[in-house]
Amino acid sequence: MKKLLILNGPNLNLLGKREPGVYGNQSFEDYFETLKNLFPETELIYFQSNHEGALIDKIHETGFSFDGIIINAGGYTHTSVALADALSAVITPAVEVHISNIHAREPFRHHSYLTSRCKGMICGLGLKGYEMAIRYFVS
């Protein structure tokens, strides 16, 4: 059985409430139940924090024993060398996910410090991007 971590960064705890025109009306907790039902043969662990250090700690905790990390670092995507370094420090492969198309938004969102540390990036496909990342790891 594959063991995957879904790691969400700052403000993603507000999904379903925050800017529904950009991020939709569904909470991640509700969507996570959908993912667990879609992938019953995969152990999915979900962690969200608004604190950079907590995200780094979770990468360190899981990065040598899990089969994959699906990371949406939120705003830290564009600012955190420390998160990028954490992904480089572990052996577990990661896929970067963004609900919105970061390349169609403000210019400061066009750069990701994480992309070069990840197997790939899925962006702009809404919550479906998480499902696609899981499918990558289980195939």
Q: Is 100 annotated as a binding residue?
A: yes
Known catalytic residue at 98:
yes
Q: Is 135 annotated as a binding residue?
A: no
Q: Is 67 annotated as a binding residue?
A: no
Q: Is 85 annotated as a binding residue?
A: yes
Q: Is 25 annotated as a binding residue?
A: no
CA dist 70 → 7, 20, 37, 107, 136 (Å): 6, 22, 17, 24, 10
Backbone angles phi, psi at 26, to 5 degrees: -100, 135
Q: Is 122 annotated as a binding residue?
A: no
Spatial CA neighbour of 71 closest among 103, 89, 49: 49
One of 23, 31, 113, 130 is an active-site residue; which one?
23
One of 31, 76, 98, 113 is an active-site residue; which one?
98
Biggest CA pair distance of the chain: 40
DSSP annotation of 7: E
Known catalytic residue at 113:
no
Binding site feature residues for substrate: 72, 78, 85, 99-100, 109
Residues serving a catalytic function are 23, 98
Binding site feature residues: 72, 78, 85, 99-100, 109
